[in-house]
Structure 1
Amino acid sequence: MNISNVMGSADTSVVAASKKNKWKLTDSLKDKIAEMAKKDAQNNEYMGNEFKSLRKSEISKVAPDRAALIGKFSYLTGSGNASVMKEVQEADKRWLCMLFGEPYEAKCQGKGFGSAVHVYNEDGEEILTYTGGVGWQAKETKAETKVNSALKTTYYEAYSAERKALKSKESDNIAAGADNTFDARA
């Protein structure tokens, strides 16, 4: 299989440019997270499925389309064809950039069994690594880390406040019930 022939017919528009970091934690999102945290605190469950789903959705807004990058690489390299992998290892930076599309950049490291392909976003952050023995490994970007941290912090603060309120209410109920205790000495 000749990579240059495949590259000529491959649609490089499949790989969309990663989104610039325009994500913002809005007041409505904060309120939504607080409601989820309160509900979870009342159910004695930390970070329930609803919050996890929301967090995944919000992080995907700033994440690069790793699935498209992996798909493109897999399509062009076939099912581990050794000659294709050799061409990938010998490829220059320009060819790898054409493979993954703009604004991505890729670099090959090493030869043979220990070789790897590293894919970087437009900010120079590594977002994917491929090694023969392990396969694809995603690397979290700074934008993804920022969103994840903001969401988890907002959730934690609301959850902690609700747990504190529930414990306070519980101790008030226990104290109020102390006056109505049964006296066994009578």
Structure 2
Amino acid sequence: MNISNAINTVSVSGSFSSSAKTSEKNKWQLTDSLKEKIVELAKKNAKNNIYMGNEFMNLRKAEVAKVAPNRAALIGKFNQSMSSGNMGDMKEIQEADKRWLCILFGIPYEAEFQGEGTGSAAHVYNECGEEVLTYTEGVGWQEKETKAESQVHSALKSTYYEAFCDARKALNSEQRTGGMNENIMSQGNFDMKA
């Protein structure tokens, strides 16, 4: 445990060996079947004049969850420890030893505690050193998006956007073509005597 008196920071980290589960979790791919599903949803939404409808949003949420850390479990462990009487406040968290923090957050996560009193905060990092959660007294938990989550969001949204634009162009083209044929026909039936 490294303690810096200058800024009142406690850094805690656990050593870990990279597991197959962790590396598999971060190797998300946009498969052809997933692309087809996104294109299908984009066409359906374009037809209904809805951009990123509920079905797509649910699909996106499910795909991002595949690479996201289990924040709910981390928060649950922390809250359980706080309510069980094992820790009364942030001061006790700051004074906790490295082993206890590894048990609380689990390896490969790291935690860093800063400040005192109402300005104190707990920062939780993943195995890549990216902050995934922050707890601040009086504010609560804030989630931080990882690079892997951002990449999945970006891939899904760009695929959807392209498919949606293509579907809207096709619909607009059909409407113009259909509308022009109707106009030509109605002009041919136009009665000049009236």
Task: Give the shorter-chain TM-score range.
Answer: 0.7 to 0.9
2:161 is the counterpart of 1:156:
yes
Helix, strand or coil at the partner of 1:129: strand
Shift of 1:80: 8.7
- Counterpart of 1:108? 113
Counterpart of 1:65 in structure 2 is: 70
- 1:127–1:141 Cα contact (<8 Å) kept: yes
Q: Which digits, 9 at most, give the CA deviation of each residue in 1:33-59, with x for residues without a partner?
A: 100110110011111111111111111
Aligned mates of 1:40, 1:74 — CA distance in 2:
40
The answer as to whether partners of 1:93 and 1:107 remain within 8 angstroms in 2 is no
Counterpart in 2 of 1:175?
180
CA distance in 2, matches of 1:90, 1:110: 12
| Corresponding position: 1:125 with 2:134 | no
The number of residue pairs the alignment matches comes to: 170
DSSP-derived class of the 1:181 partner: helix
Question: How far apart in 2 are the matches of 1:102 and 1:82?
Answer: 20
For residues 57-84 of structure 1, what are the alpha-carbon distances to aligned partners after superposition, in whole Å with 9 as ceiling and x for unaligned? 1111101000110010011111799844
Q: CA deviation at 1:177?
A: 1.6
Counterpart of 2:15 in structure 1 is none
Tell me, yes or no, if structure 1 residue 146 matches structure 2 residue 151: yes
- TM-score for the superposition, normalised by structure 2: 0.80
Structure 2, unaligned stretches of length 5 or more? 1-20
- Counterpart of 2:180 in 1: which secondary structure? helix
Closer, same or farther: CA 80–142 of 1 in aligned 2, 3 Å? farther
Which has the higher mean CA deviation after the structures are superposed, 143-152 or 174-183? Answer: 174-183
Secondary structure in 2 matching 1:25: coil
1:166 aligns with 2:185: no
Q: Secondary structure at the match of 2:135?
A: strand
Structure 1: runs of 5 or more not aligned = 1-16
What is the alpha-carbon distance in structure 2 between the residues aligned to residue 181 and residue 81 of structure 1? 82
RMSD after superposition? 2.1
8 A contact 1:20–1:62 mirrored in 2? yes
Identity of aligned residues (%): 63
Q: Which amino acid aligns with 2:173?
A: S
Q: Which 10-residue stretch deviates more, 81-90 or 130-139? A: 81-90
Write the mapping of 1:35-74 to structure 2, written as runs, cut at 5 A: 35-74=40-79
Q: Deviations over 1:111-152 (max 9, x none)?
A: 100111000000000000001121111111000011111111
- Distance across 2 between alignment mates of 1:52 and 1:109: 36
3-state SS, counterpart of residue 98 of structure 1: helix
